[in-house]
Structure formats: structure tokens, C-alpha cells
Chain A
Amino acid sequence: MESIAIDNQPLTWHVACRVDDIPQNGGACALIDGRQIAIFNFTRRGQWFATDNECPHRRQMALGRGMIGSHAEEPKVACPFHKRTFSLKTGQCLNDEGCSPIQTYPVRVSAGIVYVGV
């Protein structure tokens, strides 16, 4: 199950950054087509994820600086501001029912380059 929810819409793959730009088991933010996208290199699981950089809670541009981890099997990121946690797969907020979800994006890595589908 990948995070491509919008099968029918055409995806554009953008070059985001080099693999080394994103710390292992951590994240950073890339500017893609005017949009702030957080990219996570979940080395421990051998997976890459991408989400909005903006946290819906107080609309702070900070998820790329958030700490990643897991809740049971679900990979997640915690916002640095008030520790809302979001599923990296679905974007759903895991610890605050009232909080809106975040958008997730597919990631592809090839030859040391990270691509994000928007």
C-alpha cells in the first residue's frame, strides 16, 4: 500500500534533493514548485516518505524538522511545536482527533537523487 491516493491524476515527479541532504532517520524540507514539502529518510525501515511541511495545528512550517518513529507498525512524524503526531503513510493525525490530516506524497529514489511526486 503506497501513499498514492490520487491514482487517476497525473503525477509530476520533481527532483527534490540529493539523498545525503536528508539526515538518516530524519527529515528536512525542500522547496518544490513553490511548495514546502517535508522529506523523510526512514533508513531504519528502508523507506522514504514525503508530506506537507506545514503542521495543520498552528500552521507552522516545521514538520521537516520533526522527529520520526513508529507507533505499533505505523511510521509517524511528531511536530516540533506541540507534538502532534501524523502517520507518514496516510497523513492522519494520530494523537488529536480534532486535528486535520496532512497531505502525503510519493517518493522515488534513483542514483542518489530524491524525487517527489506532486
Chain B
Amino acid sequence: MSVHTNTRIVVIGNGMVGYKFCEKFVAKEKKGQSFSLTVFGEEARAAYDRVHLSSYLSCKTADDLTLAPADWYAQQGIQLYLGDPVVEIDRTSREVRSHQGRIVAYDYLVLATGSGAFVPPVAGVEKDGVFVYRTLEDLDLIQSYAHTVRQEGSGTFRGAVLGGGLLGLEAAKALLDLGVDEAHVVEFAPRLMPRQIDDAGSQVLQRQLESLGLSVHLNKNTQSITGDAVITGLQFADGSHLNVNLLVISAGIRPRDELARAAGLDTHPRGGILVNEQLQTSDPAIFAVGECAVVHQMVYGLVAPGYEMAEVVATQLLGATSQFKPFDMSTKLKLIGTDVGSFGDPFASEPECRTIVYENKAKGIYKRINISADGKQLLGGILVGDASQYNMLLQTCKNQTVLPPDPEDIILGSRGGEETGLGGVLSLPDEALICSCEAITKGQLCHEIANNGHTSVDALKKATKACTGCGGCTAMVKDLVGAVLNQQGVYVRNTLCEHFEYTRQELLDLVKMNHQKTYAAVLDAFGRGDGCEVCKPAVASILASLWNENILRQDRATIQDSNDRFLANIQRGGTYSVVPRIPGGEITPEKLIVIGQVAQKYGLYTKITGGQRIDLFGAHVGDLPSIWEELIRAGFESGHAYGKSLRTVKSCVGTTWCRFGVQDSVSFAIELENRYKGIRAPHKLKSAVSGCTRECAEAQSKDFGIIATEKGWNVYVCGNGGIKPQHAQLLASDVDKTTCIRLLDRFLMFYIKTADPLTRTATWLNKLEGGLNYLKAVVVDDVLGIANQLENEMQLLVDTYACEWKEVVETPELRQRFTHFVNAPAVKDPTVQFAPMRDQIRAREWA
């Protein structure tokens, strides 16, 4: 289309799509193009947000819902006639005539007449107290009628909705908000939301709705509405009857095609104006958009495809070409108090596809996903009770993203940190439509977040209009903000502190290359200032992980965190705890006796720990070397309870005694504990070995855990109890001991070399780009070709192990540091005080 001189466009209908057409049109219109735009609206108000109509009953005013005030149209030079429906289109003279007698000529006509509620031919629909649910006016009527009923106070106020579809359930929730005593939903089909969800999902949904106070009646064919002038009840074909004072009919929509039909345009026998892909009706000068149009054989009863249609027509009228492509009809129910989502092809079933279903009756959760027969793509699915994964699943489905190898993770949640087996939002392609109402892609949003500093949903709403339509994308937009910021955080490297402009990983590599063994050497070469309580322990850990020399020698004692500096945990009152290593939790009576004797001699409180060993509390700093001297003499070693290093490898009793055991878990636990003891890591390491799947050692909550199988051992990694528990994930199955140890060597060394300070393995994995798959690729498949190196580095640490307490006990200059008063070594801190507790002592309460 070439340049138009004053092309006249008339829009019939000022609903959501009619408005969007105006908005898109004026936004695209260039200087020099001259158009005149006239809009006729039947409703008395300028277009408003029908999608959030229900919020009018709870929190929003009509003004809140208005899409643009009347003066916006004036400012844009749009002639808007409200409360004045068009009653005739004269296609020969190309004119429309309105109810109030206005006659306006057009070059192009855009029909955006939407749809009306479909009212089935049931006897009595004309009675007072029977409503539809489509416009603000409908809601005003319902509200004032409900008010009258309540004023009359004639017993229980019962409201009902005819129709258990998406809109019907929303209307039913609105009735509850209006304060009816009973709310009923009557559905003809044998299940709720028959077009979106399957039987099993519907049953879960029904139970959830019933718990919210809705009564659900299925398989009900409503024969008549009873009452004289005013509704009193519903009569069903099966002979039953339901008393109600108010009925909302929500039995579907009927496109408003009456004007088009009268003008001789082609319409669908079941309603709707037929259009081609350019959205032209059978008269090329007339377009139809939104819910009144039938395109690709269907009426799109959602706002997003309507907006896309507005875009297609605006583009064409301004001279470019455009087509309307089949549109996704996925839906997420809002406002209802329980989550429901359905996307893609929710009903696809075997044999064309694999269907995976998860149901938790107790929690009211039902999830179903349909996966292509080759297991690669998500075809569609249903979520009831928990639709938190809706957006990710929808995007995965729409973008035909290749699924992870265990697709059930998508709905079960991977047993690791990520929410789903899918990557995060950032794994979506840039073209992925995040806000389908406004057609905003992930790429656009990321650009706004990263380059224009729009880092809140509000700012993004202003900048892009995302989230302003149905609002369904808000959660995902939030995720995206988080993810982009996070990513920037990763690029803004996680440097140690003001003294070192390096990440831990970078510094470790530098220290290794330069063979530095003291803090002073590292600070002089790579840092500035005098160091602090953040970088000193971090460097201490790096030095220990690389060279495994005694942590108290050279200048290293004073860079250790206070627990490491005294090789014991400082506790209330300034005393210390003593934890000898008891590998695998196995201990002889002789050794137990020594622990008892030492505790008695030094007045220590004893307790069995959660790590299968014994903790002795209340030791004076000056007593520590003597206590350890006695323990070491009895064959004990440091338990490193104070270090960021291996704590315990717990074990269950396994084949040693247990009738179910399939492998010797105790021996393996002891072997592993002895192999990795003393090795310093970014954070502490915990492990366990279970003798069979009953998992009595809780290996799946450990940084590395091993579970015996008939054929060998399953290796789990990156689990964690503590502040934020996380299950360990399977790294390898049915491996023999040697393989297991090789994998663990690689895994641990890779963690030690790459994690940030004070980051447990679980958190490290959660931040690791590529997650478990990447970890497996490195550790098991050796894609980086570093497996040998990692194994050798670990072997060096294993070979250089020495009990650090033994060295202290035997080295006078190290030993002499264990005093409270440097000038009075024999004097104990007089402020240390104990209180009795049961048959032992405890630290005195502090200030």
C-alpha cells in the first residue's frame, strides 16, 4: 500500500482488542502518513481490562481497570464515540451508521465487537437474579442484586454458577468474595474445566475447590430455572433440584457477529466472522480482530491472540505485510485460590507420546506432561494445585526446547537445587515470548534489565508493557530480573575482599603457579593493604589445599580462623572443644575408656555428636596440648571438627552385622575417612556410606555419599543438611571401590579448586553453569581432560597427610602458643566459669 492521503479508518468496538489496535496504530504511524481514526463503543466506558474484571468486586475501581482515559484518544486525534453502537454497515457506500444516527465513511473498517456471554436456551433465563459475567455493568448488577438479597435477609444466601469452565470458576470465586453463604458450580460435563484439563486433574481441582467452600455438581443438565419472577432454584434433568437466590450463567462465549452477518459478510455457522490470515473478512476493506473473529477455524477467547491480531491489522494498514499465525491457547487460571494451568496439547496421549503423571492427593497436586515419543520435546501438560512451573513449561513447550534426559525431573523437581530439570529462565532462547499479551521477548526484557537499568517489574512494565495484559508472565519476568542480575554478579567477579582483586579460584591458580607458601608472599605479590579476617582464612585454605603443610607453621598460624589457629572450636566462655577422629564411627572399648579417662582428668563435658563421634567440651586453651598428647598416645588423631575440611564419614553397620546389608559399608567408610582426612577445602566436607538402599547412614544428605548396591556402589554428590537442606544427586551407579575413589578424588579436587570461599558443595553445584550434567561431564567423562591432574593433586594431599595435633604436641615452639596469658602460662583464665548440668558441667550463660 502506497501513501494514503487521509485514509479513513473506522473501528467498531472499544474493548480490549479495539483499544489495542488504536494504541498500536498510533505508535506505528509515521509523520507524513495521514489517517483519521474513528472508534464506536457500545459500552458507556472507554475500554477497560476485562481480564481482571473480577478484581472489581474485591479491590479495583473502574478507573483502575481503564486501559486509557478518554482524553488519551483525544490527544491521539482519535474520534471516540462511547455508548453509541454501530447498527449498520453499508458496504456499497462504505459508511457505518450508529444508534445515535452518526454516519461515518470509511476506507477500512475494523470489527472488534468481541463476544457476549452465551446463554443456553433454558426456560426461565429471563428471571430476576439471573446474570451473565462479561462487563462492568454486569458486575454492578450482580453486586446490587446481592445487596438486596442480603438486606431482605431471607435465610441462607445461595449463589450458583452455570458452567464449570475457566470463567465459571472465576465467577464462582467472585460469588464467594461477594459473601454468599453457599457457592455452587453446576457443570454439564463429567468434569471441571473440560476443555483444559483431564479427569484426574479435574478431580484434584474439585477437591481443592471444595475445600475453599465451593460445592461442585457434575453431570448436571439444567432443565429450567424455577421461581415466579425471581429465581428460586435450578431444576435438573435427573430430577434433582438446587435452591439458589442468584445465578451467573457462564456457559461459554458467542462472538458478536450480528452486524457483520447483516452486512452480508461470511460468518461461521456456530458464530464468528470468518477472516483469512491477513484477518480480512470476505470484504477486503473490512478486517475483524479479537473475539469476534474466526481465524484458522477457531475463536480465540483470550486476550493475547487478540492483541496479536491488532498488531497484524495495524501493520498492514500502515503499509507493511503481516499475517496472523496459529496462536498458543495455554491458560493459567487466576484468582481461584488454587493453581491451575494447562498448556500446549494437554490431552495428547499414548501411543503418539509418553505421558508422565505425578499426583499427590494429600497435598492436592496433580501434574501431567506429555512428551514426544522420542523423549525430546514437551507437547503439553496440566498442572493443578501447584503451577509454579507453568511459565517454564509453557516456554519449553513453545520453544521446542530439547528436554533433559530424565524428563520426569521437570515435574518432580530435580532432586538438586534447581527448581526443575529444565535450566533456569536464562536457558530460554532470546526469541522466547515471555509476555504473550504484548509480544515481549526474553531478549527485549534482558536488554532492558541489563542495559537500561530497568530492574523491577514496575520499571519493566513502563519500559516494555510486559505484565500489563493478563499478568501471567509477572512471575517469570521477576525470575528473569533475578537471573540477569545474578549473571551480572558473576561477571562482576566475586573477588575476595578489599585486599585481593581476585576470585578464590584465580588466586589459587596464581599461588600454585608461583609456589607461594606464606601469606606474606601472597599478599605482597597479589594483594594490597594488611589483609583481614576474610582474605586471611581464604588464603590459608588455599595454601593448605595446595601444599598440605602444617597450618600453624611459618606465618600461617595468625591467618587461620580462630578455630583453626588453636585446632579446636572456641565455645562459650572461651574454652575449647576436643573432637578426636573416630573413622566410620567404629571404636574399640579400649579407646572409649581413654576418652572417658581424659574427660575425667580435665573436667570435660562429653557428648555423642550427630556425626558418630564424641565431643569433649570445656577445655582450657592451656590444657589442649596435654589432652591431645594423651589422646594421641592412645592412637587417636585430630578430628578436624574445627577446620574447613573432612568431618566424618558416617557409616551404617552394613554386612558386618546387618541382615540386609549388601556391602561392607563400615570398612569402606573407614577407608574413605582415612583417605580424605585433613584435606582443607573451601568449606567443610561430610560423607556417609550406607550398606543398602535403606540408607541408614543418610548418605544422600552429604557432600559425598555412597550407597551399596548388589553390584557395587552408587555415588551421590553435593548434598547438604544444615541451613538449607538439599539432597545429593547421583553421580555414578554400580561402580566398584576403585572407580568410586577415583571419581571422588576428581570431584573433591575440582570442588576445592573452583569453589568460592565458604561455599558448601551443594551451593557450589547450584551456581555451577550447566549444573549436574556439567559436573558429570567433567568428573565422569573428563571432557576437560583434567581427570588425571585432579587425581594426582588429590594423591599428593593424601600422601602428605600428617596429624596436625601430633605435630603441635611434639613441637615446643608451636605448643607454647597454647596459653591464655603469655606472661603467666600456668594461669588459667579466671573469668572462665562453669555451671553444673545434670551430672556434668556447662558453660556459664553469657552477657
Chain A residues within 8 Å of B, Cβ to Cβ: 16-17, 21-26, 28-32, 36, 39, 42, 44-45, 54, 58-62, 65-72, 75-76, 78, 80-81, 83, 85
Contact = CB atoms under 8 A, between A and B. Distances in A.
Interface residues of B, number: 37
Contacts of A24: 555, 558
Interface string B810-830: 000000010111111001010
B697 interface: no
Contacts of B565: 65, 67
A81 B570 contact: yes
B822 A59 contact: no
A34 to B, nearest CB: 9
Contact of B533 (A28, A44, A75, A78): A78
Interface string B489-515: 000000000110000000000000000
A65 B562 contact: yes
Interface in B548-572: 555, 557-559, 561-563, 565-566, 570, 572
A58 B529 contact: no
Contacts of B831: 36, 54, 61
A31 B829 CA distance: 10
Q: Which 3 A-B pairs have the closest CB atoms?
A: A80-B562, A26-B558, A69-B532
Contacts of B454: none
B823 A30 contact: yes
Contact of B532 (A17, A31, A70): A70
A85 B530 contact: no
Contacts of B536: 67, 69
Given A25-B555, A67-B558, A67-B559, A62 B570 contact: yes
A62 B822 contact: no
Contacts of B27: none
Interface string B503-544: 000000000000000001000000001111101110000000
Contacts of A76: 532
A71 B532 contact: yes
B573 interface: yes
Interface of B is mostly: loop
B821 A67 contact: no
Contacts of B827: 31
Nearest to B621: A65
A29 B532 CA distance: 20
Given A30-B823, A65-B565, A69-B535, 12 more contacts: A23-B558, A44-B530, A62-B570, A62-B574, A65-B562, A67-B532, A67-B537, A72-B498, A80-B561, A80-B563, A83-B533, A85-B533
B846 interface: yes
Nearest to B534: A69
A69 B530 contact: yes
Nearest to A73: B529
Contacts of B229: none
Contacts of A85: 533
Nearest to B566: A65
B74 interface: no
Given A67-B562, A69-B533, A17 B822 contact: yes
Contacts of B823: 16-17, 21, 30-32
A30 B558 contact: no
B847 interface: yes
B530 A42 contact: yes
B530 A70 contact: yes
B822 A28 contact: yes
A114 to B, nearest CB: 9
A43 to B, nearest CB: 9
Contacts of B817: 23, 28
B532 A78 contact: yes
B847 A29 contact: no
A58 B822 contact: no
5 contacts: A28-B817, A42-B530, A61-B574, A67-B536, A70-B529
Contact of A30 (B529, B572, B821): B821
